[in-house]
Amino acid sequence: MNDALVQAQEALALAKEAKFIANNMWLLVATVLVFMMHLGFATLEAGFVQKKNVVNILFKNGMIIAIGILTYYLMGFNLMYPGENEGGFFGFAGFGLTPPENGMTPAYADYTYWTDFIFQAMFAATCCTIVSGAVAERIKLVPFLIFCILFVSISYPITGMWKWGAGWLDARGFYDFAGSTIVHSVGGWGALAGIILLGARKGKYTKQGIKPIPGHSMPLATMGVFLLWFGWFGFNGGSVLSADPELVSLVFVTTTLAAAAGAIGAFFISYIMFKSFDLSMILNGILGGLVGITAGADSVSVLSAVLIGFIAGMLIPLSVSFFDRLKLDDPVGATSVHLTCGIWGTLAVGIFGQFDDPGTGLFMTQLIGVLAIGAFTFTFAFIVFFILKVSVGIRVNEQEELTGLDLGEHQSLAYA
């Protein structure tokens, strides 16, 4: 009898260990998928810029992921997950990485401390990559990199802590599953501050109206979007933070349905508005659908996911026209994809979210979260860009802009 009990306990312990291994493994796979998104951003942005600025945009993308991961190791992770000051605005658990005593066991989480760090680190650089596309073709390299260091190591983890680090927004019941607001609209607000202070590319807005500056490679842009869609299975699927069969598979379904619906939404509205079948619009529509579903991928019905994605896709052409009307020049549509659809997706949780205990006024809570994080991030980014603008300058000179930043900043060509 005693033996049987011992055997049962051993079997249970083994089963728990197997589950821990499976959970941890899925998080690591998801980490790799999120890593692939950086290739997606790089190809998308490269495709949407002119061929004279391709080295520059790729250089920025290479540096951003390096800066993002290193600063996240140095301070970002411990700013975002301080494990203290719960319900507060700010916490910091010290520089560097210090695994806690139980950090490699299920007592820590369904995954190890190392997995926790590396999964979150892959997310971090995304907020700067979003900015990089919007300010492309005219921003000076070094001031931009200085902005990135400050943005990703201070601004992003502080607002991230408000929700994911058990801060004040979390305590209020704000919901942002994988970061429509915390990652995407944060990047979008940074991008908006950047393009306001930079001004439009030369020749984009003329007396005769808008003169488009077409991207140099639609195949590259398309590849980028499909790579991002591919990586999003990790971005959202990994954000379940375990290999829970039901939740992870639901998230796969909602995520990909929203992406598909985003393309269709952008297709119809861009055709109605512009009378053309515009590839760049349906590519942005797919991304808009993905950004839109990110806040509620685990907590909305399948039909709601389709609606959220469809509306996000419809918002894309409207938003692109809106920013163009304000003469805010965004070569890749980052503000429309990440800011507009990030806000929409976060608010959509307040409309479509299915929770066991739906707190009253979830929509208002979502709105407060969007506005609070928006206000902090936009102010931070605006101040940093402004100081850089009045000190070292953020825009390349006119001659360099015409010649291209590849020759101006790097003395090299993408297509030699």
Contacting positions for other proteins (CB under 8 A): 209-212, 214, 270, 273-274, 276, 278, 280-281, 317, 320-321, 324, 333
**Long-range contacts at 358-366 (CB < 8 A, ≥ 24 apart):** 359/173, 362/173, 362/175, 365/172, 365/173, 365/174, 365/175, 366/174, 366/175
Of the two residues 16 and 211, which places its CB atom closer to other proteins in the complex?
Answer: 211
Contact 289, 309 (CB under 8 A): yes
**Helix (H) or strand (E) segment spanning residue 209:** strand 209-210
User: What distance in Å separates the CA atoms of residue 309 and residue 250, rounded to the nearest whole number?
Assistant: 15
CB of 153 to other proteins, least distance (A): 33
Of the two residues 276 and 399, which places its CB atom closer to other proteins in the complex?
Answer: 276
- Could you give the count of Cα atoms lying within 13 Å of 35 in the half-sphere of its Cβ? 10
CB of 210 to other proteins, least distance (A): 4
Contact 298, 255 (CB under 8 A): no
Tokens linked to 19: 């589950």
User: What distance in Å separates the CA atoms of residue 328 and residue 334, rounded to the nearest whole number?
Assistant: 11
User: What distance in Å separates the CA atoms of residue 137 and residue 194, rounded to the nearest whole number?
Assistant: 13
Of the two residues 47 and 167, which places its CB atom closer to other proteins in the complex?
Answer: 47
Of the two residues 243 and 286, which places its CB atom closer to other proteins in the complex?
Answer: 286
Could you please report the per-residue DSSP string of 234-290?
A: HHHHGGGSS--HHHHHHHHHHHHHHHHHHHHHHHHHHHHHHSS--HHHHHHHHHHHH
Of the two residues 167 and 215, which places its CB atom closer to other proteins in the complex?
Answer: 215
Of the two residues 178 and 320, which places its CB atom closer to other proteins in the complex?
Answer: 320
- Burial of residue 7 (CB within 10 Å: 0-12, 13-18, 19+) is exposed
Tokens linked to 380: 């931070």
Q: At what angle do helices 186-198 and 156-163 cross, to 10 degrees?
A: 150
CB of 310 to other proteins, least distance (A): 19
Of the two residues 279 and 368, which places its CB atom closer to other proteins in the complex?
Answer: 279
Of the two residues 237 and 331, which places its CB atom closer to other proteins in the complex?
Answer: 331
CB of 274 to other proteins, least distance (A): 5
Report which residue type is found at 287: L
What does the longest C-alpha to C-alpha distance in the chain come to?
A: 90
Contact 259, 40 (CB under 8 A): no
Instruction: Tell me how far CA of residue 78 lies from CA of 71, 134, 397, in angstroms.
Output: 11, 29, 39
Of the two residues 2 and 206, which places its CB atom closer to other proteins in the complex?
Answer: 206
Contact 24, 115 (CB under 8 A): yes
Of the two residues 274 and 355, which places its CB atom closer to other proteins in the complex?
Answer: 274
